[in-house]
Structures are given as C-alpha cells and as structure tokens.
Amino acid sequence: MKGVKYMELLGALLPLLLMFAIFYFLLIRPQQKRQKKIQEMHQALQKGDRVITIGGMHGKIDAIDEDKIVVDVNGSQKLTFDRQAVREVVNPD
C-alpha cells in the first residue's frame, strides 16, 4: 500500500522536476554564463580600450578606476561612465 502512494507521489512530482531541469538548462544556466562573461569583460577593461556603452556611445578609455571610466569620445570631449555602462570592447585584434 505504501509503495503505491510513493509511486503516485513520484508520478506527480516527476513532471515538475523535469520542467525545472528544462528551465534550468535552457534559461537560467545560459543567463548565468552571459552574466559571468560580462563581469569578466568589465574587470579586464584597460586604458586605451575602444568601447561601446549601453547607451551606444563609442569612444576610447582615457582613465579608469575601480567603478568609473573616463571615455574620450572624439579627441576633445571626455565623458565619465560607471564601469558597468560598458556594453562591449571593440579593440581591433
């Protein structure tokens, strides 16, 4: 009798566990990988890197500290951004 109840409980929980596993591997895990990659990019920023901010501003890093960067926009204008405002580094390799 107890074995039947455990099988019914397992039969009810199995689809939920399967759905969680699918969500984890299709949604949660890839998002965590992207976030880790962005964090590594922010940590690796250096003076002289050409960057694009999340607002679409293109420029070259003129100065950098722990949480702020100064971006030289066109050779005469310098703007200060949070380090997290950098969307990507576009250095020519």
Supply the pLDDT for residue 1. 55
Q: Can you give the residue ranges of every domain in the chain?
A: 1-44, 47-92
> pLDDT tens digits, residue range 26-55?
999 999 999 999 999 999 999 999 999 999
Percentage of residues in the chain with pLDDT exceeding 70?
96
Q: 52-93: per-residue pLDDT in tens?
A: 999 999 999 999 999 999 999 988 899 999 999 999 999 876
Percent of the chain with pLDDT over 90: 78
pTM: 0.72
Please check whether residue 7 is in contact with residue 23, taking contact to mean a CB–CB distance below 8 angstroms.
no
Helix (H) or strand (E) holding 68: strand 68-72
> Which one of 1.10.287.130, 2.30.30.100, 3.10.450.50, 1.10.10.10 gives the CATH number of domain 47-92?
2.30.30.100
Which tokens is 12 given? 């009810």
